[in-house]
Amino acid sequence: MARNELLQGTLDLLILKTLARGAMHGWGISQHIQRVSDQFLTVEEGSLYPALHRMELKGWIESEWGESENNRRAKFYRLTKDGKTQLETETVGWERMCCAIAQVLQST
C-alpha cells in the first residue's frame, strides 16, 4: 500500500476525529491529518471536499463561512450531535477491523 492510500471508509473517521477538536476549514483538516500522521497520510482536495459535502448531507457536520487565519474567506466545518455519535460508531468499527486484521496476520 502506498504511503498515502487510505482504506475505504477511513476518511470519514479521520475527518470526524479531526473536527472533534473544534471547527476547521477544509485545508486545516487536511493539514492536521497530514501533520498528526507524521506526513504519512495525505488527503487530496478531490477526496476531502466530496467527503465533507456527503457528511454535511448526512447531518454529521455543519458549516458556515468565516475568515481563515490568513484573512481569506473559508468554509468552517464542525461536528453536530449526530456527528459525535457517528464518530463513536466509526471508532468502534475501526477497532474491530484492526483486531480482525491482526488475528489474520498472527495466524499460522
Question: 60-93: per-residue pLDDT in tens?
Answer: 999 999 998 889 999 999 999 999 999 999 999 9
Determine the residue type at 65. Answer: W
**CATH number of the domain that 85 lies in?**
1.10.10.10
Question: Does residue 3 fall inside a structural domain?
Answer: no
Question: Does residue 23 fall inside a structural domain?
Answer: yes
Task: Note down the domain range covering 49.
Answer: 10-106
82: Cα within 13 Å, side-chain hemisphere: 8
pTM above 0.85, yes or no: yes
DSSP string across 15-38 = HHHHHTT--EEHHHHHHHHHHHTT
- Distances in Å between the Cα of 43 and the Cα atoms of 20, 99, 104 are 18, 25, 28
Question: Does residue 2 fall inside a structural domain?
Answer: no
Contact 74, 66 (CB under 8 A): yes
Question: 14-24: per-residue pLDDT in tens?
Answer: 999 999 999 99
